[in-house]
Every structure is written in structure tokens, then in C-alpha cells.
Amino acid sequence: MANDPTGEPVVPLDPSWPKMSLADATAALTAPGAPFEMEVVPVRGIPTRVWKNAPHDLGELLDLSRTHDGRLFTILDDERISYAANWRATAAFARALQAMGVGPGDRVAFAMRNLPEWPMVFFAITTIGAIAVPLNAWWTGAELAYGIRDSGSKIVIVDGERYERLREHRAMLPDVERWIVARGAGAVADTTALEEIVGAPASWAALPGDDRPRIAIDSDDAAAIFYTSGTTGQPKGALGTHRNMMTNILSGGFSGARSFLRRGEPVPEPQPRTILTVIPMFHVTACSAMLMGAMAGGNTTIFMRKWDAVRAMEIIEREQVNVTGGVPTIAWQLIEHPDRANYDLSSLEAIAYGGAPSAPELVRRIYEEFGALPGNGWGMTETMATVTSHSSEDYLNRPTSAGPPVAVADLEIRAEDGVTVLPVGTVGELWARGPMIVMGYWNKPEATAETFVDGWVRTGDLARLDGEGFLYIVDRAKDMVLRGGENIYSSEVENVLYDHPAVTDCAVIGIPHRTLGEEPAAIVHLAPGTTATEVELQDWVRARLAAFKVPVAIRFAADTLPRNANGKILKKDLKALFADRESAAA
């Protein structure tokens, strides 16, 4: 097997692994009549390879979820909601939305923390052909108002906390016909309590078992608008389809099955899992990748009001959680917590994450200390989540990779002209194609034309592919530091810093220099009980990378670094830490 020359395996592997090549595993899983069989269909006029057996639309998936009946669907603290109860509430709320005049193509915005109401609202909107607009629950009132106004939503559904943020902005949203508030502190003028329509979650099981509304939906109809993270400029609404979201179900299953074949084992029948979901549901990873698979497979999803490592370990032990993750910081906090030995975490089978680079050391420690398999992958809001998936021995063997693409996806590395495809191993801009690519940006034709080209999305990520098709994200194009004509990929320096035993979170950014243009600088967060100095960390990098890549300054953060809802570090917010050097460089 051709191992990536820049990344050695982090744990010793069976010398006979892999028992099957990627190509052979893919051929076996996608053969005619196999569960992951593919076919080519026109998507927006472009022949596209798709999963033949994916559910047709979100309504069909909702019906499938009903077959899980009494199995627990969601857990939040003492609230435990079954699949049957969720189906009844979703059907009831869908009928109520239709009675309010909501129909195909209408936008319905909603913003709330991870609650049992969240998936109920999402499916009620989308299964009547309307377009769900899940807004970032971390946004301010003004930002939420922007999303409501930009999407042209006629109904807004929020929890009590989000309503308080939006209250003063209501006058600027005259096109909103109805405001619905969940878990409000009390009666609010000119709003409807969600509980008046479907009751509190604890009462959903007693709702009538009437059928859900049935309307004709095409797989390529619009289903949801997810706003990009908006690290620069105003967020753009990525308009996703039913097919986009259904694709993730089989993409996740395919990736898991591929790992078994690579190991030389038969693919087992899927079994429901218990998942601790700590990333926001308004992010495509949680909604499109995780929730869709949970609905199909009968998984139990556990929500937390707020991330807390001790609380998470209590939940993992009590509920026998099989899978958790989100961003690398969460995994690090579980590993490094001084009280970890007090909890039985042996039920964990996998810890998966994305949204930020992870150190090879983290991959190894997940495997060795939890006995769990690490997992990551690559996707973006514009791909409605999964394009590549990386787990098990493949991840242990290539710890700096984001994995190979799923069978229905294609990747290319292109030159700056956006046309020339570069050779294997060459760094360029990553382009992706497949049935997971969204329709475009809502009401932004120029940005859509620039980003989406003939079925491909130009990602803005600098990356390379190895000879077997494994993807390596090198940097965001805008995050690359250009020092005197030399390219410095921030992820390369970050990976070296992560290898230091004291570093659990870090970011490398460019700071201005009068003659060189930019120089690299770093911000690090140290593990509890450890110490490191700026000089020590600079020497650590200098021993492993070229001198021009060594951060000229390192600042220490008392807490983990600020991130947006997608898990990406907000590097623009960190530049102020180097204001003294910037003024000196002027």
C-alpha cells in the first residue's frame, strides 16, 4: 500500500492490512443489487452519479423513522422522546403550518438551541414542500433579523431566548406573518406558543395518530437554506435540496461498510447507536449528516444544553453512549480531563470530528486511551456535509488526511485558472462534484455563478490528493501566510504545534511585515497543568520545519480559541493579539 510520505501511521497496524484496496471495496459495495448501488441521473441538467437506494425525500425519511416506534429518538436532560411521539408531533405541526398558509417554496425560519423541538420543526416544514431556514442560534438579534429578512421567511419559530434577542427587531420585519415561540417565559403579545399547537414534548405521545400531509416532492426540490459561517462579510444562504440531505444517509453507511471490507471483515447489519450530539443542529454536520442518518437507522440522539466535559462524561456513562465528537477541542477535553478515570467511558466506539485540523497525536490517543476509533472527514455548507470520510485504520494510517471521497463524489485539484487539473501530490484549489452539492446561494446569482460551475463547487480550500485519492487539506486560500514570496500553510505549522505535549488548541495567522508582506504568528492554549514558553515552542517548530515557517511571535490563550458554529477558529478575531507587532511593522 502506498502510504502518504508526509504522515506515518500513529499506531502499529496489522502488516496484512488492508485486506482490500479502496477500488475493490468500492466495487463490491456499489455492484448492481448491492446496498450502495449507484446510478446516473440528471441533476439540474447535469448527469450525476447518485445513490440508487437513497430515500426520495425528507417525507419518505420521516415515514421510515416511524418504523422505529418506541425507540428513543431524542434525550435532553429528563426529557425522553420516542420516534413514535416525534412522528405524531411532526405530523400535527405540519398540518398546522399548512393551515397558516405555508405551502411549497415558502420559507419558514427557526432559531433555537438543540431541543427535541428542533428536528420536529425541521421535518414539519420540509415535508410539506416548504423551505426550512435554520438560523444560527448563536447570532445576535440583528444577525437573526438579517437571516429572516434575507430568506424572506413568512413564519418565524424561535425559543424564548432567541425571541428576546429579536423582540426589538420585529418592527423591521413586517413581512413575517406569524411568530411562534417555544419554551417562552410566559405569554408574549402577538405571538403563538408552540405548545398551544402541539403541546410540550412530554405530551407528544398522546397526540392523535393522524397521517402527515402528503404532497408531491421532487428529490431536487429546495429543502433548506443553511447560512455559511460568515467569517468574512455577510453570511450567504446555501440552498440545499432533498437529494443533498438524503445523500448523506448512504454516504455515511458506505464509509462505515468500506472500513469493514478494508479490515477483511463482513459488513454487519446496521444496529442503532446512541449518539451524544454536542454541535449545533443548525450546522450541516449535525443536521444533514448526523440527524438524517439517525432517522434512518433508529439512533438515539442526546442533546446537551451547553458543553461541559464532566457533564458529558456523566451522560456517556449513564446512557452508554457509542459515538460523540464535534470538533477536536471536545475530544482533547475528554482526554485531558483530570477526572476522566472516575467515569466508565468504555461504551464509546467512535469519536468523530471536523471543522478544524486535528493533530496526529489526537488520533493516536483516541484509539489508545478510549479504545475507540477516530473519525473525521471533509465537507462544507455548500456540500450539505459529507464529501470525504476518514475513519478506523485508514485514519490511523493517514492521520493528516481528510480521507477519500465517498463513491458518488469526485474531487479535483485545479490551478488558479479554475480549469487546469493539477497532478497527484500538487497543491491547488480543491473542487468537488456530486449529488451533495447545493443548488447555489439564495438570491445571490453572482456569487452562485462564481462558486458553482457545471456541477462543481470551487471550495476555496488549498489541498492535494495522493495516489489513492486521499484528500489532504493544506489551508484555506485566505489563511495561507505569504512571507517574502514563500507560501506558509498554517495547518502545517499548526500540526507541529499540536504535536507538542502541552498544546491542545492553536491557530497560526499572518501578521503584517513592512518588507516581507506577512510573517507567521501563533496563538496556543495549553493543556491543564502543563507549561510552555514562547521560545520553547518556537524551538519545537524550528526543529521540525524550515526556519521561515517558525512563528515570529506566540501568544497564550487562557481558554480554547474562539470558533464559529461550524467549529472553525475565528482567526480574524485573533489578530488583535498582535497589534503591538503590527504597529511596529507599519
Q: Does domain 22-54+239-476 have CATH number 3.40.50.12780?
A: yes
CB 530 within 8 A of CB 505: no
Q: What is the pLDDT of residue 23?
A: 96
Instruction: Indicate the pLDDT class of residue 485, thresholds 50, 70 and 90.
Output: low
Q: Please give the mean pLDDT across all residues of the chain.
A: 92
Which cell numbers hold the place of 579?
497589534
Closest by Cα among 79, 65, 118 to 294: 65
* Whole-number pLDDT of residue 356: 55
Tell me the DSSP string of 92-151: HHHHHHHHTT--TT-EEEEE-SS-THHHHHHHHHHTTT-EEEE--TTS-HHHHHHHHHHH
Please provide the size of the chain in residues: 586
Predicted local distance difference test score (pLDDT) of residue 223: 98
- In CATH, the number for domain 487-585 is 3.30.300.30
Q: How confident is the model at residue 357 (pLDDT cuts 50, 70, 90)?
A: low
Residue type for position 432: A
pLDDT for 355: 57
- Given a cut of 50, whether residue 2 has pLDDT beyond it is no
Instruction: Please report which confidence band the pLDDT of residue 415 belongs to, taking 50, 70 and 90 as the band edges.
Output: very high
**H/E element holding 394?**
helix 392-397
Kindly provide the b/e burial profile for residues 333-362, where b requires at least 16 CB atoms within 10 angstroms of the residue's own CB. Answer: bbbebeebeebebeebebbbbbbbbbbbbb
Predicted pLDDT at 233: 57
Statement: residue 230 has pLDDT above 60: no
pLDDT tens readout for residues 509-550: 999 886 677 899 999 999 999 999 999 999 999 998 878 899
Higher per-residue pLDDT: 465 or 138: 465
Q: How far apart are CA 212 and CA 125, in angstroms?
A: 12
Nearest to 355 by CA among 286, 422, 272, 305: 286
User: Residue 231 above 50 pLDDT?
Assistant: no
Helix residue ranges, H only, 158-291: 160-166, 194-198, 242-263, 284
Q: Say what the alpha-carbon torsion angle 258, 359, 499, 232 is, to the nearest 10 degrees.
A: 160
Q: Across 339-353, 356-370, 568-582, which has the greatest mean pLDDT? A: 339-353
HSE-CB at 540 with a 13 A cutoff on CA atoms is 19
Confidence of residue 566 (pLDDT cuts 50, 70, 90): low
Q: Is 400 helix (H, G, I), strand (E, B) or coil?
A: coil
Q: What is the pLDDT of residue 247?
A: 98
Q: How far is it, in rounded angstroms, from Cα 475 to Cα 508?
A: 11
Please report which confidence band the pLDDT of residue 564 belongs to, taking 50, 70 and 90 as the band edges: confident
C-alpha radius of gyration, the chain, whole number: 24
The yes-or-no verdict on residue 170 having pLDDT over 80 is: yes
Helices 117-126 & 83-99, crossing angle to 10 degrees? 50
Amino acid identity, position 438: V
Question: What is the percentage of the chain residues whose pLDDT exceeds 70?
Answer: 95
Q: What Cα–Cα distance (Å) separates residue 409 from each residue in 16, 105, 218, 282, 326? A: 28, 28, 21, 24, 23
Highest mean pLDDT among 49-63, 320-334, 389-403, 473-487: 49-63
The pLDDT, as a whole number, for residue 300 is 98
Q: Can you tell me the distance from the alpha carbon of 531 to that of 512, in angstroms, rounded to the nearest whole number?
A: 28
Q: How far apart are CA 383 and CA 210, in angstroms?
A: 35
Strand ranges, E, within 454-551: 456-465, 471-476, 481-483, 486-488, 503-513, 517-526
Spatial separation of the C-alpha atoms in residues 336 and 528, rounded to whole Å? 7
Higher pLDDT: 548 or 245? It is 245
**CATH T-level assignment (fold) for domain 65-217:** Rossmann fold (3.40.50)
Rounded to whole angstroms, how far apart are CA atoms 308 and 63? 34
- Residues of the chain above pLDDT 90, percent: 76
Q: What residue spans in the chain does CATH classification 3.30.300.30 cover?
A: 487-585
